[in-house]
A and B are shown apart, each in its own frame.
Chain A
Amino acid sequence: MASSIENNNEKLTLKSSDGEEFLVEKHVALQSTLLQNMLDSDCSSADVIPLPKIDARTLALVLGYCKKHADASSSKQGELNSFDSEFLKDMDMGALFNLVLAANFMEIKGLLDIAAQKIADTIKDKPHQEVREIFHVENDYTPEEEAAVREENRWAFEGFP
């Protein structure tokens, strides 16, 4: 028992791309498969783990998610679900994409899935013009090419202008 408490209190430091350091409990960090593998392969563990692709704002969000999921016991699934749906609510697109990239990089499957779901919900049922606008996708098709693509997948464009 004593040793497990000790383990729980073990901490490590993560460093964001913009140089901010975050002190995290080990069991929280273990939500990330990337960190888990790093810790497994090197038990002595370096003092600071740099995460060069993730800025401080995003990392703070990611760690908030990990903490909630690491601390909640499995019996509180309902509570976690409502936390998850609140977590991404009203988040702007830039932050959401940073988060999805961070979750992918750090291999946090649960977070990646809810963020991907949020982006998917934004695309779903929308006309492509709107999707282009929301995500700033530049249309580089000529009108002829665009018509050819539409013809190629005619079944999918039934009912869309």
Chain B
Amino acid sequence: MHSCIYSCQELTQLKLVNCILRPPRELSGFQNVIVLDFNRVTFGNNMLRTLLSRSGLLRRLTIKLCSGISHLNIHAPNLEVLIINSNSGIDSFSLVGSPKLWFCLIALGGDPRRTTMNNPHFRTKDFISDLPKNVIENILERIPLRDAARTSILSSKWRYIWTTVSQLVLDKQFFADTLRTKARVRQEFTNAVEKILLLHSGPIRKFDLRLPEIIRVNFCSDIDRWILFLSRNGIKDLTLCSTIDMPYKMHSCIYSCRELTRLKLVNCILKPPSELSGFQYVIRLHFQRTTFGDNTLGPLLSRSGLLERLTIKYCSGIGHLNINAPNLNSLFIIDNNGLESLSFVDTPNLRCFFGSLCDKMGKTPTLMEFLVALPRVSKLNLDGFFLELLAAGGSPRNLPATFTLMNSLSLADVEFGDFNVFSCTICLIQSCPNLKKLTFWFSINESTYEEQVVNYLEAPTYMDQTLTKLLYVTMHDLVGLKPQLLLIKLLLACSPMLEIMFVGLSEQLDINERFEISKELSQFPRLSPKAAVIY
């Protein structure tokens, strides 16, 4: 390099590749240099130090594959980016007083005898390692377990951080990621899970294992071992999804987990060892496609006194079910096989009930008995089967009690042309003076109706009270049967606050039929001035 470069006053960027820099006779330039990039440059004696001491404005410095630097002492107050890579012959290195440095790559290559990195600001730039423990845990809980485990290799500080994460989620993604070689599924998977459990330190609060359906391996004995391990490590929230072909029979240690508050089982078998077994501290229970020992579910639930939310969906083997749960708030009983009867013994706090049956039960309470057991219910969703059963007992025109807390009623598969169903429905609506939201899913199979229904609906004073709180009505699959239209007419006529009447017409209707229905609906008088009918 020609020596005139040293007196360039206005030089701000200099990039040299394959050059030699010799010490100058005089150095009057370089005071405005911002970027220096040296690649395969040979420096003369102390050359670099002299240059750097002049360059007070330097922001980026790259020294790569260079030679002739024996002592590299960087003191650059404005330095932001520093890259020192693969240089030969650096004996000592120091970096002090660069508070603005935010990117730094230093690969000295060979051991410098003395290295000083006295730059506190620079060191705190590894933000992530210095985060408080709870924040790191918060972050690691948001990434897949495998990614969390891979943080072990970042640095020695990170080696075991992931092992304290108290939530272990072994879901479909986990399987897809860990089982790349499908040949030895059982061994690989079992090994992985056991390594995770063995390395784990501290309590495991949440364990979520979902075996993918495609895996046709029986893991039951392995899962037994893991559940036992979890039961001794403070498990609070357990989700276990086995496969349809290989249902997992739950280990009996589950009943003695003192900290268990949430349990979700899918494709499992639950046979409590004795009448006295219960989930003493469980607040949420979810059973799906799970098989129970005959008539054991009721006693099990009555020994789970803190239960607030219970779901029993597509299960079998229930038999007679007496629900005795003083704290129960939400109950979902959906399409179970072999549910012979359902009754409520002590459910004063039930607020939300979802009932749907896939076949008839032998014995059910009448509408009155059913509602009296649920004095606080505010949200009720029933399907056609359920409604039919409640209706079968015959219903009084008015119930003797009112359910003032009920604000949302949803009825599915309603055969509204059936007189019993019709009168039961009207009776329900009339007993809920504070109803805000009413939803109907009409049965798509219904094509006829009983005259009696129409006679009642056409009687001018059939509904003897106004629905003063009703705001939203939604109808689905309306085919335009006379009772359906008369129901809309009735609701429009006695709901002074109604805001929206949504009418979903059945897809079977053609455009003319739709037009006829909407024409008819538009003529119904509306008690509420705000009421909008929407299709």
Contact = CB atoms under 8 A, between A and B. Distances in A.
Nearest to B180: A158
Given A116-B142, A153-B195, A155-B192, A97 B127 contact: yes
A117 B149 CA distance: 17
A33 B286 CA distance: 33
A137 B199 CA distance: 23
Contact of B131 (A100, A139, A159): A100
B51 interface: no
B155 A139 contact: yes
Interface string B129-148: 10110110011101111110
Interface centre among A113, A131, A141, A155, by most chain B C-beta atoms within 10 angstroms, is A155
Contact of A104 (B127, B132, B151, B199): B132
Contacts of B142: 116-117, 120-121
Given A100-B131, A101-B131, A104-B134, A124 B147 contact: yes
B112 to A, nearest CB: 16
Interface residues of B, number: 40
Contacts of A157: 150, 153
Interface centre among B135, B154, B177 (most CB of A within 10 A): B154
Nearest to A158: B180
A39 interface: no
A93 B132 CA distance: 16
Most buried by B among A97, A104, A139: A97
A128 B156 CA distance: 13
B148 to A, nearest CB: 8
Among A135, A139, A140, A153, chain B packs the most CB atoms within 10 A around the CB of A153
Given A123-B151, A155-B192, A137 B129 contact: yes
A160 B150 contact: yes
Contacts of B535: none
A89 interface: no
A57 interface: no
A149 B138 contact: no
A135 B126 CA distance: 6
B125 A100 contact: no
B154 A120 contact: no
Contacts, number: 109
Nearest to A159: B180
Interface string B153-184: 11110110000000000000000011010000
B524 interface: no
B168 to A, nearest CB: 13
Interface in B29-84: none
Contacts of A126: 147
A156 interface: yes
A94 interface: yes
A24 interface: no
Nearest to B174: A155
Interface of A: 93-94, 97, 100-101, 104, 112-113, 116-117, 119-121, 123-126, 128, 131-132, 135-141, 145-146, 149-150, 152-153, 155-160
9 contacts: A128-B151, A128-B153, A136-B127, A137-B129, A137-B158, A141-B155, A152-B199, A156-B146, A158-B180
Interface of B: 102-104, 125-129, 131-132, 134-135, 138-140, 142-147, 149-156, 158-159, 177-178, 180, 188, 191-192, 195-196, 199
